[in-house]
Structure formats: structure tokens, C-alpha cells
């Protein structure tokens, strides 16, 4: 498809190398992995090999990796099963979490299962660790769910520090790591989380497959019943070629991580500088300009007031630029971004999330900036 794709936080293009790894399991190796005959056994072997690959990359045991349909199912499984089976009554999260976490916890609160609190955020949307410590000291036997990298503004949580704090106070720690998985190194011997999650389509793998890490010291019962698959943890026939693709995509991402980080951070820096030069009054939400505190893949741009704010994404699309106003998982909603609203940004200032991948080029960044500048040239409210 023609055009410039800058919405990689929503989903990424499938890596051809991943597709080649998946293809035999789409065409030739079609046995049910639960079958005991040779057709089933060869497919079961592929699943377990994939599990070992992911576990090795994350420095953990294969017995702690469970395959799911994606990040949303993984988040729901970790949160709902922990709360219901461990008798947890108090939960802390933030108001800028992905809806897979936020809506799940709000539903459980509405049903009377938990009391839900929200951690204090600073003006840029970062967690105030002193406030977190204070809450932890007052709420033993509770659960904390805080995402590693915000999918809209890109802020990065000090996941190791939060994990150690939760361990110190005996609190269950769950982190939605969908935006950082395979973009950063996750050493699960250093990250003291009971649960983290991944979704293959965020790092050039297939859609519809992900995984949940469950620490062996925090075992839970299944969320989806109906079969003995995934060592009795998730009913349903496994998405075999998806799992193979997930493992291959992670393997490639870890193999080439430093190269891709440098390339993509360079694109992000280039866009920041060119936007400042060509769009008067431009700003950046969260900690986007700080490479040490924000995702190198995400840039959330705050633009000047304009009489065409509501049509900005449409106008970019006409010019062949694919970007987002926020989480693609909330598309179709006219309420705007809950993350931007929580930051207190004026509604008349349009916000656009540009997100990058290894396939983007400097030329594409220049064209995207020129397109945005042209849209604004005669449209800015004076």
C-alpha cells in the first residue's frame, strides 16, 4: 500500500523473515498439537521450541510463559485471576493505563470486587514514586498495575524500581509491557513482577497472538476454560503458526535491537527538530523529548489551535500519512484520548501520535513534517 505509515504503536508490518518461519505451519504442518500421533507431535514440538526461545530471551523458565490471543487477554487473565483467586481487595493503577487494564479494573470495582485507587502523576504523566511508596506502606496484600511504556505519550516507568518496591511491601505487581516488549531488554530475574505481557504484532510479528508471563511463585488458575492446553492454563487449540511467528519476531528483535534502537531514535529526533523549525508553536506531550525517559518509538505532538483540528488526521491521510490521535484500540470513540485529557491539555489543541519502526526512513519523516506544515500554513487560528 502506498503512503507513509507512522502508526507503529498500533501495529507493525509483518517481517518477511517471520512470515517464512510461519509458512510451513500454515501449509504443511497442520496437526493438532494436542494429538498424540506424529502430525500432532511435530506441531507440539514447534510450540515448545517457541516457548523456550521466548523464555531464554526473557531470562526465565519456559514453565512461566503462556500463549494467549494478545495483550488484552493476557492483561485480563493476570488481573482478574490474581484478584479473584488471591482474595485481593485493594488495587492501585494510573488513569493513563491502556484500557485493557483500566477498563478491566473499573469493571471489577463496579462489581464490588475491589477498591480501586489511582497513583499520583506529575504534570508530564509520570508516576510519583514517593506517592507510590506511601500507598504501598498502607495497603499490604494488594495489587499494583502500572504499564512499562505508555502507548500514547511514550513515558517509561522505572519498572525495576517499582518491582522492587512492590516486593518489599509484599504486593503483587503486574505490568502491561506491550509497548516495550522486544523493543527493550526484559530480564525477568531483575524485574520483580508477577506478570508481564507481550503482543507479537507490536514488534513485526502476526496479529492475534501474545503471551503472559506468570511467575512460578504466583500461580493462578485459568481465565479461559474448555481444555487442557497451555498446561491447563488456557483452553482452546493453540494458534500454532502465530506462536511460531511470535517467537521468531522476538528472536529477530533481540538480535537486531541496538541497531533498530539507534535507527528509530534518530528518526524521532529528526522529526522533533524539523517540527520545531517548520510548525510554530508546536509542543510535545509527556516526556517525548527525553530519550532516557520515553519510548524511542513514540512521539506525541501537541499542535497549535486550528480551525481544522477535528480534520487533522483526515487531512494527513489524504496526503498519504498514517498517524493516530491516540490508541488504535479505542478507534470509533469520539470522547478523545483519556491520556491527553488526564494531562490537562486544552481540547482546542490537536494532538497527533507518530510512531516509528525499523522500516521507516529519514525521507518519510521529512515528507510527513512537510505535509503537516503545509496543512497548518494557512489554517492556524490567529
Q: Give the tens place of pLDDT for each residue, 211-257.
A: 999 999 999 999 999 999 999 999 999 999 999 999 999 999 999 99
Contact, 20 vs 210, CB < 8 A?
no
Parts of the chain belonging to CATH 3.40.640.10: 16-255
| 279 has a pLDDT exceeding 50 | yes
Burial of 298 (0-12, 13-18, 19+ CB in 10 A): buried
pLDDT of 332 reads 42
Contact, 184 vs 217, CB < 8 A?
no
Q: Give the tens place of pLDDT for each residue, 38-53.
A: 999 999 999 999 999 9
Q: Give the tens place of pLDDT for each residue, 69-118.
A: 999 999 999 999 999 999 999 999 999 999 999 999 999 999 999 999 99
CATH code 3.40.640.10 for 16-255: yes
pLDDT of 326 reads 60
pLDDT of 97 reads 98
- Model pTM score: 0.94
* Cα(312)–Cα(318) distance, integer angstroms: 10
Mean pLDDT computed over 317-344? 76
Contact, 274 vs 80, CB < 8 A?
no
pLDDT of 336 reads 74
pLDDT of 300 reads 97
| 319 has a pLDDT exceeding 90 | yes
Mean pLDDT computed over 317-325? 94
pLDDT of 382 reads 43
pLDDT of 334 reads 46
Q: Which residues are catalytic?
A: 329
* Cα(292)–Cα(126) distance, integer angstroms: 13
The more confident residue out of 184 and 335 is: 184
pLDDT of 330 reads 46
Parts of the chain belonging to CATH 3.90.1150.10: 4-12+257-376
Q: Which of 342, 295, 348, 347 is nearest to 99 (CA)?
A: 342
CATH T-level topology, domain 4-12+257-376: 3.90.1150
Q: Would strands 143-145 and 90-93 be described as parallel, antiparallel, or unpaired?
A: parallel
Amino acid at each position: 500500500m502506498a503512503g507513509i505509515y507512522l502508526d507503529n504503536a498500533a501495529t507493525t508490518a509483518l517481517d518477511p523473515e517471520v512470515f517464512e518461519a510461519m509458512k510451513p505451519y500454515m501449509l504443511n504442518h497442520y496437526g493438532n498439537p494436542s494429538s498424540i500421533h506424529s502430525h500432532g507431535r511435530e506441531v507440539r514440538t514447534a510450540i515448545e521450541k517457541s516457548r523456550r526461545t521466548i523464555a531464554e530471551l526473557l531470562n526465565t523458565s519456559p514453565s512461566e510463559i503462556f500463549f494467549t490471543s494478545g495483550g488484552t487477554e493476557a492483561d485480563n487473565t493476570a488481573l482478574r485471576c490474581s484478584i479473584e483467586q488471591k482474595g485481593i481487595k485493594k488495587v492501585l493503577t494510573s488513569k493513563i493505563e491502556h484500557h485493557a487494564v483500566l477498563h478491566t479494573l473499573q469493571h471489577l470495582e463496579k462489581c464490588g470486587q475491589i477498591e480501586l485507587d489511582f497513583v499520583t502523576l506529575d504534570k508530564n504523566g509520570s508516576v510519583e514514586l514517593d506517592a507510590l511508596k506511601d500507598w504501598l506502606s498502607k495497603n499490604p496484600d494488594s495489587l499494583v498495575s502500572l504499564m512499562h511504556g505508555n502507548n500514547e505519550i511514550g513515558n517509561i516507568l522505572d519498572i525495576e524500581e517499582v518491582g522492587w518496591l512492590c516486593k518489599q511491601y509484599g504486593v503483587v505487581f503486574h505490568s502491561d509491557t506491550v509497548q516495550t516488549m522486544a523493543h527493550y531488554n526484559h530480564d525477568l530475574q531483575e524485574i520483580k513482577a508477577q506478570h508481564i505481557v507481550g503482543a507479537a504484532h507490536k514488534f513485526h510479528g502476526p496479529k492475534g497472538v501474545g503471551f503472559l508471563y506468570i511467575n512460578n511463585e504466583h500461580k493462578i488458575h485459568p481465565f479461559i476454560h474448555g481444555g487442557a492446553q497451555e498446561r491447563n492454563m488456557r483452553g482452546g487449540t493453540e494458534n500454532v503458526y502465530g506462536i511460531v511467528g511470535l517467537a521468531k519476531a522476538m528472536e529477530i528483535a533481540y538480535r537486531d535491537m541496538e541497531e533498530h534502537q539507534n535507527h528509530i531514535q534518530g528518526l524521532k529526533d529528526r522529526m522533533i527538530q524539523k517540527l520545531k523549525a517548520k510548525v510554530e508553536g508546536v509542543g510535545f506531550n509527556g516526556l517525548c523529548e527525553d530519550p532516557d525517559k520515553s519510548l524511542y518509538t513514540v512521539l506525541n505532538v501537541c499542535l497549535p489551535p486550528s480551525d481544522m483540528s477535528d480534520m487533522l488526521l483526515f487531512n494527513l491521510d489524504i496526503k498519504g500519512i498514517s498517524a493516530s490521535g491516540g490508541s488504535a484500540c479505542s478507534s470509533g470513540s469520539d470522547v478523545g484520548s483519556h491520556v491527553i485529557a488526564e494531562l490537562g491539555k486544552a481540547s482546542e489543541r490537536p494532538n497527533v501520535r507518530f510512531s516509528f519502526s525499523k522500516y521507516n526512513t529519514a525521507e518519510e519523516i521529512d515528507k510527513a513534517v512537510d505535509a503537516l506544515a503545509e496543512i497548518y500554513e494557512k489554517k492556524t487560528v490567529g
